[in-house]
């Protein structure tokens, strides 16, 4: 299982921008919505062993031809936000909490994260880009939220550790969507996508190649 710790180093500051994004499926409810003909599903597992609060991972619609994320009439990004907290949709400290979102098929970037609703790190200086085909069910990975993590240079910064375990994720997904578990596949990201910087801190974020051990 590949793991990589990427520090979220502040490179610039701007006026905060709160994205107008759709929330993930609430798996505590009995309803189990499925993707429509022109929709796709993403699956991921955030966790935060030593960190409370409302933390979100952001995915924006992306146009590879123009290098821009889609925005609405108010100039806010279009996409989805995956929430991990101990108050929203439950969640136990340290557990890998299954999160699912249904969104239009198309191109996306792993665009950033919010920490405790106080600021947003946006990966506009380089982010993983990926495509969701209609009807696809795609496992993105596991994301460990870290606050003021000690780095190799001795400094402390906010960070997000990425890992992937498709077998374990598939077992957890099967409990929520037993009829769809055979459709669950890993994503195929390409690092380095840049786009307009809409947030508080502008950084780059890269993930390991899922094809490599």
pLDDT score, position 103: 92
| Of residues 93 and 209, more confidently modeled | 209
7 contacts 199 by C-beta, under 8 angstroms: no
> 46 Cβ partners below 8 Å, 6+ apart?
55, 57, 82, 84, 96, 97, 99, 142, 143, 144, 145
201 contacts 74 by C-beta, under 8 angstroms: no
Least confident of 38-42, 139-143, 200-204: 200-204
206 contacts 128 by C-beta, under 8 angstroms: yes
pLDDT band per the 50, 70, 90 thresholds, residue 150: confident
How far apart are alpha carbons 137 and 57 in whole angstroms?
18
pLDDT band per the 50, 70, 90 thresholds, residue 128: very high
pLDDT tens across 48-89, in order?
A: 766 556 788 999 999 999 999 998 888 888 888 887 765 554
pLDDT score, position 166: 95
pTM value > 0.75: yes
**Helix and strand counts by DSSP (H, E) for the chain:** 1, 14
Closest by Cα among 4, 2, 9 to 204: 9
160 contacts 4 by C-beta, under 8 angstroms: no
Closest by Cα among 206, 63, 209, 205 to 122: 205
Residue 38 clears pLDDT 90, i.e. is over it: yes
């Amino acid at each position: 299982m590949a793991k990589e710790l990427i520090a979220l180093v502040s490179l610039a500051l701007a006026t905060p921008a709160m994205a107008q994004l759709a929330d993930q499926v609430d798996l505590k409810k009995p309803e189990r919505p499925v993707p429509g003909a022109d929709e796709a599903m993403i699956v991921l597992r955030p966790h935060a062993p030593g960190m409370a609060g409302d933390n979100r991972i952001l995915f924006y619609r992306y146009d590879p031809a123009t290098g821009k994320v889609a925005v609405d009439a108010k100039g806010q990004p279009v996409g989805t936000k995956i929430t991990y907290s101990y108050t929203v949709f439950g969640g136990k400290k340290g557990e890998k909490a299954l999160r699912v979102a249904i969104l239009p098929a198309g191109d996306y970037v792993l665009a950033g994260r919010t920490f405790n609703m106080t600021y947003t790190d946006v990966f506009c200086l380089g982010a993983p880009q990926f495509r969701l085909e209609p009807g696809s069910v795609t496992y993105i990975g596991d994301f460990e939220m870290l606050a003021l993590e000690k780095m190799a240079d001795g400094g402390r910064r906010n960070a997000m550790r990425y890992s992937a375990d498709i077998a374990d994720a598939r077992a957890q997904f099967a409990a929520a969507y037993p009829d769809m578990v055979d459709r669950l596949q890993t994503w195929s990201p390409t690092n380095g996508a840049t786009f307009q910087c809409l947030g508080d801190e502008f950084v780059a974020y890269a993930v390991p190649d899922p094809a490599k051990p």
